[in-house]
Structure formats: C-alpha cells, structure tokens
Amino acid sequence: MDCTFAVYRFDPAVDRKGRYQRYVVPAESGDKVLDCLNRIRWEQDPTLAFRASCAHGICGSDAMVINGRVALACQKLVRDFNTANHFVIEPLPVFQVIKDLVVDLRPFFEKHRAVRPHLVTNGAHPEKERRQSAENQQFIEPALRCILCAACTASCPITRVNPNYLGPAALLRAFRYICDARDAITLERLRKLDDEDGIWGCETMWWCTEVCPKGIPVTKCLGQIKRLLKKEDSSD
C-alpha cells in the first residue's frame, strides 16, 4: 500500500523558512515510520536529513513529531495511526532546527549537566560493592529507562514559556541521583532545584508522561522531588 508523507524541510543553505514536501512511499502496516523515512532517503531523496541509529527505541536519536505528537520514528509503526496512511512529520518543537528533522539539542544537554548527573560519595570505596537495598534500586528504576531523546522536554508546555526551566528530562535525572541511597549530597541536590526554574516550574501537566517512549512515569518521579523538598521545609 502507498503511504503519503508530508515532511518538514528546511535547509539552512537555501531556505529562509521551513516548508513541507510530499512523498509517496510503498509500505506495509508493520513497517516503522523510520523505515519509511529511510526509504525516502535511499530511494527518492537523499537530501532528507534526520537522526537515527539503533532503530528499536533504545538510543534516543529519532524523537520527532509524527501526526502532531512527539514520538520516536523507530518505535511507531504505520498501523499505529488511523490517519488513512497519511503522515505529517515535523522536527521536535522548542529546539532550533539545524536541517529538516534535525534539531540542536545543545540546550537540552546543558540542562542535563546542570543537575550534576553523577553519583557523589564520601570516603574511600569499599573493597566490593556498596550495599543498596533492592527496594531503593527499584524505586529509581523508572528513571534508568531514560534514553535522553528529549521527547518529554520538547512536549512540556512550561518549557515553551520559560526557556530557563530545567525541563522534565533533567529533573528526572536529578530524581535518579536524589533518590539513590548511595548518593551523599541529597540535600544539596534538592536545594538546587528549589525554585521556578527548577522543580517548581513543573505544574503537573502530565505531557511528559504522556509522550515518554519508554513509559516512564515522569510526572510522578518529579512529584517525589517536590514531596522531599516539602518534607525538608517542614523539618527546618
């Protein structure tokens, strides 16, 4: 069967603004949207630019807007959409377009770095592993599924109005370290998030959770940070 793709195009070398280009691609219902984009590139138009690597939803390269919703192109199949085999493909919102579907994620990774994303411990390491309860490991487990695809941050309504807001992905990473019982600077981490550009920027709109391709309960994890901060405040 033939699928019709209206794909956002922008080439910084020639275009002043974006446009849409139409492609007709033969596809089967079980094909991924990514397969279709590859087919366009390999068989019709090698100038189409997009990122992709693993092709099964684990590397986080190909978040984009598919028929109005943010998703991974490699994780959505043709049959997942009841749009009469018509597709509209656009780059992630919020971020600046470099070319076609490729956006500049530097601001995204700057925010990730801002939360000190690494374990901080005191004293010498034990000879073997540090102990950690299975419950504690399971508690942070949802955040370990994150593939840094930026789908959540790009979808978040707050990100659109406050460019300084850390956004759900960075806050989720903060949650991962705050709630890891092995980490030694929990309080410091919490304090750093205690403002409108940090955790209180989140207005619990659930968009992040809604779009997360790994099914992470992002909003709930962010809620844990809020809960811990409130607890700290009441104990002060």
Residues that bind ligand FES (CB under 6 A): 52-55, 57-62, 72, 74
- Cα separation, 199 vs 192, whole angstroms: 9
Q: Judged by CB, which is closer to another protein: 47, or 204?
A: 47
Binding partner of residue 134 among ligand FES, another protein, none, CB cut-off 5 to 8 Å per kind: another protein
Among residues 194, 99, 102, 111, which one has the least CA distance to residue 152?
111
Considering only residues 4 through 63, tell me which ones interact with another protein, judged by CB under 8 A. 11-13, 30, 32, 41-43, 45-47, 49, 51-61
Contacting another protein (CB under 8 A), which of 100, 165, 169, 170? 100
Task: Report the alpha-carbon distance of residue 14 to residue 72 in Å, rounded.
Answer: 28
Q: Report the nearest approach of ligand FES to the CB of residue 14 (Å).
A: 27
Considering only 113-121, 186-194, 203-211, 227-235, which stretch makes contact with another protein by CB under 8 A?
A: 113-121
d(CA 175, CA 188): 13
189 binds, among ligand FES, another protein, none (CB under 5 to 8 A by kind): none
From the list 59, 44, 38, the residue with the least C-alpha distance to 150 is 59
Q: What does residue 59 show for φ and ψ, rounded to 5 degrees?
A: -100, -20
Report d(CA 33, CA 72) in Å as an integer.
Answer: 9
Question: Coil, strand, or helix at residue 78?
Answer: helix
Interacting residue ranges for another protein, rule: CB under 8 A: 11-13, 30, 32, 41-43, 45-47, 49, 51-61, 75, 77, 98-100, 102, 105, 113, 116-119, 121, 125, 127-134, 136-138, 140-141, 144-145, 147-148, 176, 180, 182, 214-215
